[in-house]
Structure 1
Amino acid sequence: MRTINGIDEIESLIGQGLGSSEWMTMDQDAINTFADATGDHQWIHVDEARAAEGPYGATIVHGFFTLSLIPKFSTEVFTIEGVSIRVNYGLNKVRFLQPVLVGSRLRGIINVKDVIRGEKGTQVILEHTIEIDGQDRPACVAEVVTLLVE
């Protein structure tokens, strides 16, 4: 894991990669748990028999489940020291580029896109790419905005 020491250091990393997380296997139990937590029980996610006959030949991970892995992957890649508060500020853009089949392995790759200093804190914009092991196209690309307060 990479330790970033304060806002000046992360600002110096604009345009650079912070690294990649470990691979995580997406199993049906995790998909079902996410479905229960969100109330999204669409058959393409939870009905293994019906999904086997569907367009992907198996169940697929919810797009929002894939997106929700960003905090987990982030904690495996980096930490920021020298700030008192670090909170989610929002998302600038999210794209789900291809479905994630049950049993797939995912990992996150993080790049520093921009750092914007302001009166209420500093916005750090990170581009998160969630890769699928063995695939050319990622599952998801998202610009995540985090607010840092010194």
Structure 2
Amino acid sequence: MNPVKITSFEEFKAFEGKEIGVSDWHVIDQKQVQQFADATLDHQWIHLDEERAKETQFGGTIAHGYLTLSLAPYLWEQIAEVSNLKMMINYGIEKLKFNQPVRTGSAVRLVAKLNSIVDLRGVSKAQLDITLEIKDEKKPAYTASLVFLYHFQK
């Protein structure tokens, strides 16, 4: 999949109110869950104890909610290649709702829509409405609005 190329406020603005795209599927495996647990010091058994987790309603381990959220920038880069930048800043996350857990071994993908973009004296404030879909599931893992500040070069 080729990402959409965006090099200016005007090019970004053309997507306002529209879906920009969908990422490729990404499988969250047990190794990634373990690495996230080690990096964040969150070693709750539902993420790591495969035998014990088999006895739960999930039938196995689940990915950390924040692991699934942390995949957003990686998956976003598959949707849009925003370049010609001095800098990009993660500004905020609004309306985050975890809808259901992601079972380890499941594939997820990001759907991104540009809710709004405004020019704040040369800084572009973009609000992206995102959904993390889980393959073969009706409900998404989460929905949220990501806010980025893009400092495009002239």
Q: Which amino acid aligns with 2:51?
A: A
CA distance in 1, matches of 2:137, 2:57: 18
CA distance in 2, matches of 1:63, 1:104: 13
CA distance in 2, matches of 1:10, 1:64: 28
CA distance in 2, matches of 1:103, 1:71: 20
Aligned residues: CA RMSD: 1.2
Q: Which amino acid aligns with 2:48?
A: V
* Superposed CA offset, 1:71-130 (max 9, x none): 110111111233322111111121110110011100111110111221362210011111
Which residue matches 1:54? 56
CA distance in 2, matches of 1:51, 1:148: 42
Secondary structure of the corresponding residue to residue 136 of structure 1 = coil
Which residue matches 2:124? 122
Please report how far the alpha carbon of residue 53 of structure 1 lies from its aligned counterpart in structure 2 after TM superposition.
0.9
Consecutive unaligned residues in structure 1, runs of 5 or more? none
How many equivalent residue pairs? Answer: 150
Pairing partner for 1:41 from 43, 48, 55: 43
**Any conservation in 1 of the 2:7–2:82 contact (CA below 8 Å)?**
yes
CA distance in 1, matches of 2:108, 2:15: 25
Identity %: 36
Which residue matches 1:24? 26
Which residue matches 1:66? 68
Secondary structure of the corresponding residue to residue 31 of structure 1 = helix
Which residue matches 2:88? 86
Q: Which amino acid aligns with 2:79?
A: V
Secondary structure of the corresponding residue to residue 84 of structure 1 = strand
Q: Which amino acid aligns with 1:115?
A: I
**Any conservation in 1 of the 2:9–2:119 contact (CA below 8 Å)?**
no
**Any conservation in 1 of the 2:45–2:53 contact (CA below 8 Å)?**
yes
CA distance in 1, matches of 2:107, 2:15: 28
Consecutive unaligned residues in structure 2, runs of 5 or more? none
TM (normalized to structure 2)?
A: 0.92
CA distance in 2, matches of 1:135, 1:12: 31
Worse overlay, 120-129 or 103-112: 120-129
TM (normalized to structure 1)?
A: 0.95
Secondary structure of the corresponding residue to residue 99 of structure 1 = coil
